[in-house]
Amino acid sequence: MTKSKFTFLATVLTLFALSAVAVAQTSKGFVVGTIVDQNGAAVAGATVKITNAETGVIRETTTQTDGSFRLDAVDPGTYRAEIGGPGFKSATRENILVAAAQHTDLSTPLEVGNPSEVVTVTSGTPIELQTTDGTRVNTLNTREITELPVAGLNPVNLVFTLPGVVDPGALAGGNVQGTEFSVNGLRPRANNQLIDGLENNDNSITGQSYQPTVRDGYSEVTVLGSNFSSEYGRAGGAVVNVITRSGTNEFHGSVYNINQNSVFSSLTPFQKAIEELTEVPKFNQNTFGFSLGGPIKKNKLFFFGTFQADLFRAGGVSGTAIVPTAAGAAQLRAMVAPGANPALDQYLAIVGTFLAPTSDRISASRQPEHRTTRSSPSGWLPARAHSPSIPTTT
């Protein structure tokens, strides 16, 4: 290999490595702390080892001269920590929760004694106060994502359960992709949508570019509300990061089917306004799928995958439209010559089958009901159309 080719390849690999580190900063967690003795003096050279309870992956480091240590890019999850040093009893801590984009403080005092002696500390709750920085972070965990009712199956919709998040309603204006929400009074457009630290913003309208609707495929949603570091960029509102799930040392999965159909529905106010509609139009929707994960090589390599499909079948769809009478169509044709406006030609060709012979109301069966209608533009009147049953699959 020539020197120039080697330099080019090394540059490309370096760029890929740097991009991976940048993504890890937003989708991984951090474990930090200071190890001291019973008198508060720093313990240098102490060993800190954490083990993921589900995957068995081990991360290890040693403390600096001031007793501090730091583990970056730690996979979110629950960990077991083992801390020890020469001349000190070993300390073990259970149920250490590491969340994406958060610093977990693992500061632990060590007792003087034989290293073979172990002091075990079991935490009653995995929730700990964030003391290492001023970032306001809220995390929606796997249980909340999979068990709480979520509109549209998008786990990001659960952000409305967090403080400072509101629905702006009609005040926001414009189009939106997915759920629109305001954080701390800022516009929805100010939010930064991420998936595993990668940008997921719709560049044309507000919201997510990709809608993560397969709930079983995500482990947590992290919302950084304020005071987050400059590494995230862009957002003046909140940073919403959806973290995908990973396999573990145990095989696990799920099978589900969400059904909605006309048996459990009632007529809407708009449907009740249609006299011919006396029962809910027939429809049946099934959202079904499965997830499966497990080890490829224990403690080293894992897999996880999901599948989801939506099947929707419906009967006829009723609606109300304004169509011209024969006189109204003639007025339109008199104003524009045939061929001068293709759109008008197409419109008149379509509504030709619905032309009303009189100013009476036309029912779904296209039979006049012979009653006075409400005021309409001259030559126009409301009429009802009915489309046939068309099963669809998406």
CATH of the domain at 116: 2.60.40.10
d(CA 131, CA 102): 10
329 and 297 share one domain: no
- Predicted confidence at residue 376, as pLDDT, reads 38
333 and 371 share one domain: yes
Measure Cα distances from 157 to 174, 215, 276 in Å.
Answer: 19, 11, 37
Angle between helices 326-335 and 342-351 (to 10 degrees): 170
Inter-residue contact 217 to 244 (CB < 8 Å): yes
Inter-residue contact 234 to 218 (CB < 8 Å): no
282 and 349 share one domain: no
- Predicted confidence at residue 110, as pLDDT, reads 93
Domain final residue pick, 97, 122, 147: 122
Q: Look up the pTM and report it.
A: 0.69
| CATH number, domain with residue 168 | 2.170.130.10
Cβ neighbours of residue 326 closer than 8 Å, sequence gap 6 or more: 355, 356, 357
Residue 327 structural domain: 318-393
Lookup: tokens for 1: 């290999």
Per-residue burial over 98-117, b = 16 or more CB atoms within 10 Å of its CB, e = otherwise? bbbbbbbbbebbbeeeeeee
Which of the 8 DSSP states describes residue 209? S
116 and 16 share one domain: yes
Inter-residue contact 209 to 201 (CB < 8 Å): yes
d(CA 253, CA 58): 24
142 and 239 share one domain: yes
Domain final residue pick, 87, 122, 157: 122
Domain final residue pick, 195, 225, 244: 244
Inter-residue contact 349 to 318 (CB < 8 Å): no
Question: Chunked in runs of 10, what are the mean pLDDT values of the chain (394 residues)?
Answer: 63 51 66 93 96 95 96 94 93 92 91 83 58 81 90 88 84 60 88 91 82 91 86 82 94 93 86 75 92 94 95 71 74 84 82 56 42 39 40 40
142 and 113 share one domain: no
Does residue 364 sit within a domain?
Answer: yes
Does residue 127 sit within a domain?
Answer: no
Q: How many domains does one find in the chain? A: 4
